[in-house]
């Protein structure tokens, strides 16, 4: 992500260096990059000779290369981010909406829901999508700065000094070592308004008299999601391998309903996708096709070979299917 950059700059400064770094891996077969304003997406295809056992090592070396590349990218670039789990299928995805709530409040509730869902047995991963971060925005009053003889750089320097995070040292006390913490950092916009700004003629003025300080959603946003036209945070839940998706989804839905009741008034969880419903529908279609196929084969064989011979020959179809299901059961392979 390069916020504010056009397509040409993203291609020259981000896409090409990224492709060059990726092509340095001997396991890479093909690299494709899609470039949009402020964004470059690179798809990496490995050679067929790369075994599944070698994949973690390859992706780790790719992450190391992207980490080394980060220092040479333009200032303000987010990433490169390596995603080797894009093929993971979520059992259930829901959208958390909250009309009237800030992006930060929706984000905090989405994170709380993620932590609660991870406690459910069988949940392998809970990922959040479309979550917008917040930023504290300082809008300077240029007229007030001119009256005081201040420049924006002086205000920026004072704010930077206010929020310094540094070690204050240690104290030895009774054989124990205690760390010292520097106080005075601005944890909230209200505290930031009290930041003293040194005036050229002596004295100081609080920042709140020289600027408007507000907490707003990140602009431009790096990500976002909408559900039924409302800004939302999407929560995707994946299950552990080997579980039955239908039975697991039933427990997951019950847990989601319980968590929804504890949400603040006005917030709601809107279903987006439910893999169990799709699997159930497909299983019903499989059963329907099996019955129809058996009936058609039986009718045709009996018509041409007679009743007794036709029933014997036609029994091959259901016998084969039932035998396959029995072998799958012995091997622990679920039909879904």
pLDDT in tens, the chain (336 residues): 777 777 888 888 888 888 888 888 888 888 888 888 878 888 888 888 888 788 888 888 888 888 888 888 877 777 788 877 666 678 888 888 888 888 888 888 889 999 998 888 888 888 888 887 777 888 888 888 787 888 888 888 877 777 666 566 677 777 777 776 666 666 677 777 878 888 887 778 887 888 888 877 776 666 778 888 888 888 888 888 777 788 888 888 888 889 888 888 888 888 888 888 888 888 788 788 888 887 888 888 788 878 777 777 777 777 887 888 788 778 777 665
Sketch the domain layout of the chain as residue ranges.
7-71, 135-217, 279-331
CA nearest 9: which of 67, 70, 77? 77
CA nearest 15: which of 43, 56, 54? 43
CATH class of the domain whose range is 135-217: alpha beta
What gap in Å lies between CA 334 and CA 336, rounded to an integer?
A: 5
Predicted TM-score (pTM) of the model is: 0.61
What gap in Å lies between CA 224 and CA 77, rounded to an integer?
A: 18
According to DSSP H, which parts of 262-315 are helical?
275-305, 307-314
CA dihedral 23, 28, 34, 38 (to 10 degrees): -50
Q: What is the pLDDT of residue 51?
A: 83
CA nearest 237: which of 282, 269, 275? 275
């Amino acid at each position: 992500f390069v916020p504010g950059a056009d397509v040409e700059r993203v291609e020259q400064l981000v896409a090409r260096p990224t492709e060059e770094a990726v092509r340095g891996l001997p396991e890479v077969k093909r690299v494709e990059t899609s470039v949009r304003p402020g964004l470059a997406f690179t798809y990496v295809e490995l050679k067929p000779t790369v075994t599944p056992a070698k994949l973690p090592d390859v992706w780790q070396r790719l992450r190391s290369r992207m980490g080394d590349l980060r220092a040479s990218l333009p200032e303000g670039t987010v990433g490169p981010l390596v995603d080797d789990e894009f093929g993971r299928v979520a059992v259930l995805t829901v959208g958390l909406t909250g009309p009237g709530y800030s992006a930060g409040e929706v984000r905090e509730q989405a994170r709380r829901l993620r932590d609660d869902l991870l406690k459910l047995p069988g949940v392998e991963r809970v990922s959040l999508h479309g979550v917008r971060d917040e930023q504290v925005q300082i809008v300077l009053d240029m007229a007030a700065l001119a009256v005081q003889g201040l420049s924006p750089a002086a205000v920026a320097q004072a704010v930077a000094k206010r929020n310094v995070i540094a070690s204050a040292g240690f104290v030895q006390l009774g054989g124990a070592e205690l760390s010292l913490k520097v106080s005075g950092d601005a944890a909230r916009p209200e505290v930031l308004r009290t930041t003293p700004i040194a005036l050229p003629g002596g004295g100081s003025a609080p920042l709140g008299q020289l600027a408007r300080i507000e907490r707003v959603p990140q602009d431009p946003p790096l990500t976002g999601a909408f559900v039924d036209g409302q800004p939302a945070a999407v929560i995707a839940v994946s299950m552990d391998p080997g579980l039955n998706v239908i039975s697991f989804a039933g427990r997951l839905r019950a847990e989601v309903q319980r968590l929804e009741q504890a949400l603040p008034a006005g917030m709601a969880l809107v279903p987006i996708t439910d893999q169990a419903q799709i699997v159930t529908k497909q299983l019903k279609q499989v059963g329907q096709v099996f019955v129809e196929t058996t009936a058609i084969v039986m009718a045709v064989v009996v018509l041409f070979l007679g009743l007794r011979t036709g029933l014997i020959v036609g029994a091959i179809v259901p016998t084969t299917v039932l035998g396959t299901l029995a072998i799958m059961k012995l091997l622990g392979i679920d039909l879904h």
